[in-house]
């Protein structure tokens, strides 16, 4: 993920992770573990938050591979696992996966699709899946349901009214369901199931959460514009979160969209020969 390097990694992992990623990650891992699998690939694994849940849920002999384009993120993820846990980490591009055809029974990507070319990424996920394998991906719903984008933007606008940093809109830029569904179908996927998932989470340290949002890659935009101490923005965002969602604890809402798709057991040629439809949506 572009920009997720260096001093961004720790607040992303320790302060954003428990609020934004842990609960969805646990759900993803449970879904993957529902079926018998031998090899699982996680794309855009980041600091290993979902990877940890996958390793906890999957049988010990399942081989788990985690990739990310950021070496800093992969280094943070590696530290969460012991050598015997059968997790292979690799810096790799989601649009050019360095794996053989039909190498995995499941491919997972949580909140990473917005950072790479979806058509190329979906083709690569399809290529590396075995017949009958599943692709599970999550994206954030729009900023209307995710205040980490909308509320942060409103606070940033107070400091930069004419040229407001917009990075935090990038994570919520893939909320339109039909374009993603159509790209999955064009890649060859079948049996596509789509779920909208709303959650609430107690933020125990609002100041740390707000600071982590400011010190995501949006910090680069803030520093480029200059004239404002990022800590002032963090304090303003903390106050805005408490005002909007209360305190002790702050009850924070969020909403994501889950896509579950399968690689058909039969080849396209055989499906056409048998007169089966090319694609099916449930």
**What would the pLDDT profile of 150-180 be if each residue is shown by its tens digit?**
999 999 999 999 999 988 899 999 999 999 9
In the chain, which residues have pLDDT < 70?
1-6, 267-282
The pLDDT value recorded for residue 267 is 67
Which residue in the block uniquely carries the two structure tokens 């794309």?
43
The pLDDT value recorded for residue 6 is 58
Question: Distance of CA 175 to CAs 11, 143, 145, 186, 263, Å?
Answer: 25, 9, 10, 19, 23
Residues 95, 89: Cα–Cα separation, whole Å? 17
The pLDDT value recorded for residue 248 is 78
C-alpha closest to that of 33 among 91, 87, 126, 108: 108
Q: pTM of the full predicted structure? A: 0.90
Which residue in the block uniquely carries the two structure tokens 């040629």?
269
The pLDDT value recorded for residue 280 is 43
The pLDDT value recorded for residue 273 is 56
In the chain, the domains with their CATH numbers are 6-265 (3.40.50.150)
The pLDDT value recorded for residue 78 is 95
């Amino acid at each position: 993920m572009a920009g997720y390097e260096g001093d961004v990694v720790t607040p992303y992992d320790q302060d954003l992770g428990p609020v934004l990623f842990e609960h969805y990650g646990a759900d993803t891992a449970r879904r993957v573990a529902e079926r018998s699998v031998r090899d699982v690939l996680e794309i855009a694994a980041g600091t290993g938050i979902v990877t940890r849940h996958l390793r906890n849920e999957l049988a010990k002999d399942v081989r788990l591979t985690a990739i990310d384009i950021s070496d800093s993120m992969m280094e943070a993820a590696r530290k969460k696992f012991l050598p015997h846990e059968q997790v292979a980490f690799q810096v790799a591009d989601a649009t050019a996966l360095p794996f053989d055809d039909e190498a995995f029974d499941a491919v997972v990507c949580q909140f990473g699709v917005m950072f790479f070319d979806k058509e190329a990424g979906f083709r690569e996920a399809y290529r590396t899946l075995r017949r009958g394998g599943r692709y599970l991906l999550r994206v954030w719903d729009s900023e209307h349901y995710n205040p980490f984008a909308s509320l942060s933007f409103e606070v940033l606008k107070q400091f930069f009214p004419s040229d407001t940093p917009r990075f935090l809109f990038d994570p919520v830029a893939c909320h339109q369901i039909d374009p993603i569904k159509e790209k999955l179908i064009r890649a060859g996927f079948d049996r596509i199931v789509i779920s909208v998932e709303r959650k609430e989470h107690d933020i125990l340290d609002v100041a740390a959460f707000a600071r982590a949002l400011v010190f995501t890659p949006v910090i680069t935009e803030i520093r480029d514009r200059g004239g404002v101490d990022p800590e002032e923005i963090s304090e303003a965002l903390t106050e805005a979160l408490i005002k909007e969602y209360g305190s002790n604890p702050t009850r924070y809402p969020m909403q994501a969209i889950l896509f579950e798709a399968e690689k058909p057991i039969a080849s396209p040629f055989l499906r056409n020969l048998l007169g089966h439809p090319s694609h099916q949506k449930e």
